[in-house]
Chains A and B, each alone.
Chain A
C-alpha cells in the first residue's frame, strides 16, 4: 500500500531523514517507534506533503506521491492526523467533521458521519460546541474522526496518546484497533513504545533519521536492545 525508498528530507535546515525505507502492507497496522528527534514526525510530514522530500520516493497505492502537494495527497486517501491534534479550535465540532469530508469528494458517503459518531459517541453530544472547548481526549477523537470523514485508504497517526490520561488512551487505541479490523491501513507513530508494540503487527525503529531495526512487533518487544533503549523504565511502570 505504501512503499518508501531511501527518503531524505531536511527540517529547519537539519537533515532529519537520512535515507528511510519502509513498507506498509494493505490492511496492516504498523508502528514507527523512536526517541525524540529521531525524525518520526518529519517522516509523517514528508509522507503527507507538508515537508518536501530532498531525495527518495514515496509510492502510495502504486502511484508516486513524492512531489504531490499536501491537499492532493489527502484527497487520494492518505490522511495524516498530526501531532498535537491540530483541530480547528474556532470552528464547531460539526464544522471540523464536515471539513474533513472535503478529502473524500467522490468517495464521500452520507453515512460516514454516523459511522464516526458511532465510533466516538462523545462527539455526538458536542456537535454544536466550539472544538477548542473539548478536552484533550475529545480533541484527539475529533482529529481522528475528522480524518475518517475523508474516507481514508490509509491513516497516518502522530502520537495519538500524547498528553492523554491512560484510560482515554485506551479508548483511542481501542477505536484504532476497531478501524484496523475494519480494513483500514494504519501507520502509527508512538512514543509509548510498549503500547505501540501491543497494538501493531509490525514495527519499525527509527534512529537518527534512518531505520535501525524492524520486525514483528511482538519480537521487537522482546529484543534486548530495544528493551534497554526504548522500553526501559517505561516497561516497569506500565502494563
Chain B
C-alpha cells in the first residue's frame, strides 16, 4: 500500500486472562499488549471507545475497551463466548497473538460531567462498556472530580454475574453506592416470583417503587429496570451511563423517565454489528448515524430523534 492502511491490525500478545462468569455463556476478561513499542501510543483511548480484535484466520470482532486509558498499548476487553471469533478468543492462552486496530468511535464526555452525580446501570454483558467509565471515574485521581457515584448491575443467573471479585472489593468502598441483582427465575410462562439467589431478597414485583429496602441490603432478585425503580436515583445535577440488551435499555429508559430523568441526561453505547469500524462498510447505521463513527456513545435524546429500526 502506498499510504497508511487503516485496516491493518497491529499484533498484540495476550498477557492475562480471567474467567469472569462461567456457565453456558462464559465471560472472560482478556488483556493484550501491542507488540511494537513504537505503535503503543496510538492505542491511547478515551472511555467509551471500542477496539477491533483479529483472531487471524477466523476474523475480526468489535469490543468495548475496558482498560484504563494508557500509552503502554495495554488493551483489556471482556467478551462473552457467543460466536466464531469470541469462541477463539476464549481459547487463547497467555503468550498467544491477536491483531488489534483502533481505538475508534466517540467517547463518553466524562470531562463535561465533572461536579455531577453519576449513576451507572449495566445489564448482562452490557456492564462491560459501562465498566470502562466507572473504573475511570473511581480512580483516585478522578474520583474527587465527581459527586455521588451509584452503580446498578444485574445478570440473568448467579453464574452470569461477572466481575464478582471486583464487586466484592467495590462493595467495601464508602464512596460508591453499589446495587446488584439477579433476574427472576423463568418458568414456561415468564418470570416466576421468588428468589433466584437464595440470600438475595425479592423486590416488590408488582410495584418495584414500593419495595422497602431492608437495612444494609444492596443485592436483590429483580430485573435491572425494576432495581432502578427501587434505588430511585435522583436526576438533579446527575448523569446516567447505561448499557445492556436493547430490551433492557428500553425498560431502563422507561424507569428513569418515571423518576424524572430527561433523555439528554441518559447516555448509552450502541453495539451494532460492525465490520470496518470507520464509517465505510455500512451495516451499523441507525438512520443516518453510523454507530462506529457518530457513536457508539449517544444520549437517549439523540437516539429518540433517529430513524430507528430497533
A binds B: no
Q: Which B residues have a C-beta under 8 Å from some C-beta of A?
A: none
